[in-house]
Amino acid sequence: MITKTKVNRKQQIIEKATQLFQKQGYAATSMRDLAGYIGIEAASLYSHIKSKEEILQTICFQMANDFFQSLEKIELEKLSADEKLKKAVISHVKVLTKDSAASAVFFSEWRHLSESYLKDFLAMRNNYENKFIQILIDGHKEGIFKKMDAKFTVLALLSSINWMPSWYKPEGKLSPEEIAENVTDVFINGLKIRS
């Protein structure tokens, strides 16, 4: 049996914590819970992490980074607004489904971050939403999208996608691309048969 290095153990702690935070919530998950699942004493966790909140911070800011990076790549491309929106949704869904447990924690447990982290977190989220809003505004200027409340629409769009980790099963039949295809198709083209 190969000895586990500290790095691996830390990774293991974060992964198990992610699962527990998703299932039970951050506040309802105790360090003794977590340690028990890993097979060590609660006190031993602190050889690898500084605090319970540090775990949450790691999860939240890792996800935030992933979302940001994936969107920034797309912003550089020269695309029409509807193509850009579709690509943005696809990469959003890809990040989301790559680790749906971490995504669920990211979306539901961020409020338990302490103040200064919370501030950074909310600023990043706002920034991210604004990039989507800009795509819709551009699309309207280009004559592709109808007049609408862009912020409202983006929040509705992101909400409908972000809720997914709560019911998305990786073994399900839909790939990230198919999910994004479905979502963008509904939002861009609507449900009605065109006449």
Partner DNA sequence: CCTACCGATCGGTAGG
Q: Establish if 33 lies at the interface with DNA (CB under 7 A).
A: yes
Shortest distance (Å) from residue 5 CB to DNA: 9
Collect all residues with Cβ–Cβ distance below 8 Å to 121 and sequence separation of at least 6. 60, 61, 64, 110, 113
Q: Between 101 and 140, how does the x/- string for binding to DNA read (CB under 7 A)? A: ----------------------------------------
Which amino acid makes up residue 187?
F
Size of the site for a second copy (CB under 8 A): 43
Cα 141 to Cα 80, 112, 145, 182: the distances in Å are 11, 39, 8, 25
| Residues 106 and 63 sit within 8 Å (Cβ to Cβ) | yes
112 binds, among a second copy, DNA, none (CB under 5 to 8 A by kind): a second copy
Torsion angles phi and psi, residue 37, rounded to 5: -65, -30
Using CB under 8 A, which residues numbered 13 to 52 contact a second copy?
23-28
Q: Which residue has the tokens 């007049």?
A: 147
Shortest Å, Cβ 51 to a second copy: 16
Q: Is the dihedral of CA 137, 154, 151, 106 positive or negative?
A: negative
Residue among 149 and 177 whose Cβ is closer to a second copy: 149
**Applying CB under 8 A, does 7 fall inside the site for a second copy?**
no
Residues binding a second copy (CB under 8 A): 23-28, 82, 108, 111-112, 136, 139, 143-146, 148-149, 152-153, 155-157, 159-164, 167, 174, 179, 182-183, 186-194
